[in-house]
């Protein structure tokens, strides 16, 4: 009996900080009349709690970009129920977006662009939240490492294809935001981005599926080493996007967050290894010692997505004060490192250049921030055609 009371007390304590952020007007801005799109919003994820907050803050339209699964639609129904229970007039819609398939990413971008152009005046916030962790050395239908495509390449493409909608909202309502997700593993193992990790290649050629500690931390190859490359790419891409947006005087902001360790199903559900018991025990230790609730884990994302405009600048990097606890803090402000260590990898000029040029090269696209284009789907092909203004 006492044990159950302790568990309920802990849950209440964890939820209270999240509720404090959502209900305090000085922490998060009013989102009335605005449009938010989030990748990865199944129940229990950071994206899910970000979506609930968007509803609570009065967003006019909320687009949930998920795979076509029962879990996705169950989350949609619960988010709609939350809108009804809180008397929020928010239209919630699922847009099928499988990040492991570039064709479906393009279709999702087309659907989002068409939806937000129909009386909504653009897209105010794009939260690139979905991700996978420590998967086997396998390839997507497009031929890329599954972690790099889901975590980085598809988000690069999605952001490119939605940039016009973001610019439209920024012009009409003063600003728009692109929020990327990284994690502490961006520096574990501690290595620079490698162009070959972005490229199409045969299965089993990017480190294999060996043990985490021996394979990744010592030999720097294996499932977590590939994960490190994808999450470092997320952070460096956000910095690259910030620099390019600033160079042309755009009102779109590029912000990145590290939520800290959270008790989501990302780690355990996706982890694979030649010795799964070792990974399972290690995962459990991390979760018990360092993890926070998914609701609390979403706080840096909430601040980056909905925080007051004067406190959230392009080029900001939000994380937790003590990795898994405390309020959201900045390690980078306006593209300038402000914490010890200086986010050396994320802000390294070579990594910033590598992620942008590698994504453009392997995806065979040109993400030109200085040009405004509209996109149409070619009926008999999977590619987009750029039609200059």
Domain count, the chain: 1
Within-domain flag for 4 = no
The DSSP output letter for 172 is: H
Cα separations (Å) of 275 from 209, 216, 279?
A: 9, 14, 7
Map residue 141 onto helix, strand or coil: coil
Within-domain flag for 183 = yes
Residue range of the domain that includes 77: 9-363
pLDDT value, residue 42 = 96
Sign of CA dihedral 9, 13, 14, 15: positive
Within-domain flag for 384 = no
pLDDT value, residue 375 = 37
pLDDT value, residue 262 = 64
Within-domain flag for 372 = no
Residue found under tokens 């076509």: 68
Within-domain flag for 385 = no
pLDDT value, residue 281 = 58
Cis bond upstream, residue 135 (ω within 30): no
What are the phi and psi torsion angles at 87 (to 5°)?
Answer: 55, 40
Within-domain flag for 76 = yes
In this prediction the pTM is 0.88
Let me know: does 94 contact 122? Beta carbons within 8 Å: no
Residue found under tokens 């990790």: 197
Share of the chain above pLDDT 70, in %: 79
Q: At what angle do helices 46-56 and 70-85 cross, to 10 degrees?
A: 30
CATH number of the domain that residue 259 is part of: 3.40.50.720
pLDDT value, residue 377 = 36
The encoded tokens of residue 168 equal 């439209």
The number of beta carbons lying within 10 Å of the beta carbon of residue 27 is: 18
Name residue 94's beta-bridge partners.
64
CA distance 103 to 99: 9
Name residues of the chain where pLDDT drops below 70: 1-15, 211-219, 261-291, 321-326, 371-389
33-43 pLDDT, tens digit per residue, is 999 999 999 99
The number of beta carbons lying within 10 Å of the beta carbon of residue 286 is: 13
Map residue 167 onto helix, strand or coil: helix
Within-domain flag for 373 = no
Map residue 125 onto helix, strand or coil: strand
- Give Dmax over CA atoms of the chain in angstroms: 67
Q: What is the DSSP string of 357-387?
A: HHHHHHHT----TT--EEEEE-TTSSSEEEE
The number of beta carbons lying within 10 Å of the beta carbon of residue 55 is: 23
pLDDT value, residue 376 = 41
SS3 of 32-97: ECCEEEEECCCCCCHHHHHHHHHHHCCECEEEEEECCCHHHHHHHHHHHHHHHHCCCCCEEEEEEC
Let me know: does 7 contact 263? Beta carbons within 8 Å: no
Within-domain flag for 91 = yes
For residue 254, the Cα-to-chain-centroid distance in whole angstroms is 12
CA distance 253 to 243: 10
């Amino acid at each position: 009996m006492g044990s159950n009371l302790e568990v309920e007390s802990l849950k209440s304590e964890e939820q209270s900080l999240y509720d404090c952020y959502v209900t305090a007007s000085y922490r998060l801005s009013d989102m009335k009349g605005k449009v938010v799109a989030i990748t990865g919003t199944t129940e229990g994820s950071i994206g899910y709690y970000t979506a609930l907050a968007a509803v609570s803050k009065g967003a006019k339209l909320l687009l949930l970009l998920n795979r076509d699964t029962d879990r996705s639609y169950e989350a949609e129904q619960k988010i709609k129920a939350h809108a009804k229970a809180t008397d929020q007039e928010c239209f919630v819609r699922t847009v099928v977006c499988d990040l492991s398939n570039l064709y479906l990413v393009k279709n999702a971008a087309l659907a989002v662009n068409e939806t937000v152009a129909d009386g909504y005046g653009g897209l105010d916030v794009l939260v690139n939240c979905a991700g996978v962790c420590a998967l086997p050395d396998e390839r997507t239908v497009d031929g890329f490492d599954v972690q790099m495509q889901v975590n980085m390449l598809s988000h690069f493409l999605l952001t490119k294809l939605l940039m016009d909608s973001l610019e439209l909202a920024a012009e009409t309502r003063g600003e728009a935001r692109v929020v990327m997700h990284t994690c502490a593993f961006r520096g574990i193992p501690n290595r620079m981005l490698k162009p070959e990790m972005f490229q199409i290649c045969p299965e089993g050629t990017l480190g294999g599926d060996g043990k985490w500690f021996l394979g990744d931390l010592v030999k720097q190859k294996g499932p977590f080493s590939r994960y490190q490359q994808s999450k470092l790419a997320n952070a460096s891409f956000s910095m690259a996007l910030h620099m390019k947006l600033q160079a042309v005087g755009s009102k779109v902001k590029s912000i990145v967050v590290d939520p800290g360790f959270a008790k989501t199903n990302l780690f355990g559900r996706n982890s694979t290894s030649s010795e799964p018991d070792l990974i399972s025990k290690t995962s459990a230790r991390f979760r018990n010692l360092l993890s926070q609730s998914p609701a609390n884990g979403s706080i840096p994302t909430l601040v980056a997505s909905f925080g007051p405009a004067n406190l959230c600048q392009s080029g900001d990097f939000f994380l937790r004060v003590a990795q898994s606890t405390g309020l959201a803090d900045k390690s980078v402000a306006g593209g300038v490192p402000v914490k010890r260590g200086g986010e050396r990898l994320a802000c390294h000029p070579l990594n910033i250049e590598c992620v942008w040029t590698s994504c453009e090269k392997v995806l065979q696209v040109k993400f030109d921030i200085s040009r405004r284009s509209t996109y149409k789907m070619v009926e008999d092909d999977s590619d987009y055609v750029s039609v200059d203004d």
